Amino acid sequence: MLDLSLPQLQTSAFAGRPAAAPPPAPDAARRAGHLWDSHGRRIRDLRLSITDRCNFRCLYCLEPDTTFLPSRELVGAADHVRLARIAASLGIEKIRLTGGEPTLHPALGEIIAGVAASGVRDVAITTNGATLERRTLERWRTLGLRRVTISIDAVEPATFARLTRSRYDVARVLDGIQATLDAGFEETKLNAVVIRGLNEDQIVPLTELARRYDVEMRFIEFMPLDDGREWRREDVVAADEIVAAIDRVHRLVPAGRDDPSATALRYRFADGAPGSIGVIAPVSRPFCGACSRLRITADGKVRPCLFSTREYDLRPLLVAGADDDAIRQFLADATWTKQAGHGIATSAFERADRTMSAIGG
Specify the pLDDT at position 75: 97
19-62 tens-digit pLDDT:
679 999 999 999 999 999 999 999 999 999 999 999 999 988 88
In a domain, 86, yes or no: yes
**DSSP structure string for 53-111:** --S---TTT--TT-----GGGSPPHHHHHHHHHHHHHTT--EEEEESS-GGG-TTHHHH
Q: Is 270 contained in some domain?
A: yes
Residues 168-174, mean pLDDT to the nearest whole number: 97
Q: In this structure, what CATH number is given to the domain that contains residue 319?
A: 3.20.20.70
Q: Which domain holds residue 229?
A: 19-359
289 vs 105: which has the higher pLDDT? 105
Q: Which of the four pLDDT bands, split at 50, 70 and 90, describes residue 11?
A: very low
What mean pLDDT comes out for the span 333-355?
A: 79
Quick check: is 2 in a domain? no
In a domain, 1, yes or no: no
The DSSP bridge partners found for residue 96 are 47, 124
Summary mean pLDDT of the chain: 90
Residue 284: per-residue pLDDT: 86
The model's confidence at residue 318, banded by pLDDT at 50, 70 and 90, is very high
Check residue 228 and give its pLDDT.
75
Pairing of strands 189-194, 216-221: parallel
What per-residue confidence (pLDDT) applies to 19?
Answer: 61
Closest CA to 332 of 22, 41, 88, 80: 22
Instruction: Assess whether pLDDT exceeds 70 at residue 256.
Output: yes
Q: How far apart are CA 204 and CA 226, in angstroms?
A: 25
* CA torsion, ordered 173, 174, 176, 182, to nearest 10 deg: 170
pTM, to two decimals: 0.92
Three-state SS annotation for 126-159:
EECCCCCCHHHHHHHHHHCCCEEEEECCCCCHHH
Does position 171 have pLDDT exceeding 50, yes or no?
yes
Contact assessment for residue 355 and residue 227, using Cβ atoms and an 8 Å cutoff: yes
The confidence band for 348, taking pLDDT boundaries of 50, 70 and 90, is low
Q: How many domains is the chain built from? A: 1
pLDDT at residue 320, rounded to an integer: 96
In a domain, 57, yes or no: yes
Q: Which residue has the higher pLDDT, 82 or 340?
A: 82
pLDDT the model gives residue 14: 31
Q: What's the pLDDT at 1?
A: 46
| DSSP secondary structure letters along 198-249 | TTGGGHHHHHHHHHHHT-EEEEEE--S--TT----GGGB--HHHHHHHHHTT
257 within a domain of the structure (yes/no) = yes
12 within a domain of the structure (yes/no): no
Burial label for 17, CB within 10 Å (0-12, 13-18, 19+), is: exposed
pLDDT confidence of residue 357: 77
pLDDT value of position 285 = 84
Orientation angle between helical segments 239-247 and 203-213, nearest 10 degrees: 70
Distant-in-sequence, close-in-space partners of 232: CB < 8 Å, separation ≥ 6: none
Q: How far is CA 96 from the centre of its chain?
A: 7
Residue 4 lies in a domain: no
Nearest 5°: CA angle at 242, between 241 and 246? 115
Residue 8 predicted with pLDDT over 70: no
Q: Would you place residue 251 in the very low, low, confident or very high pLDDT band (cuts 50, 70, 90)?
A: very high
User: Confidence class of residue 346 from pLDDT cuts 50, 70 and 90?
Assistant: low
User: For 206-239, what is each residue's pLDDT tens digit?
Assistant: 999 999 999 999 999 998 876 777 888 899 999 9
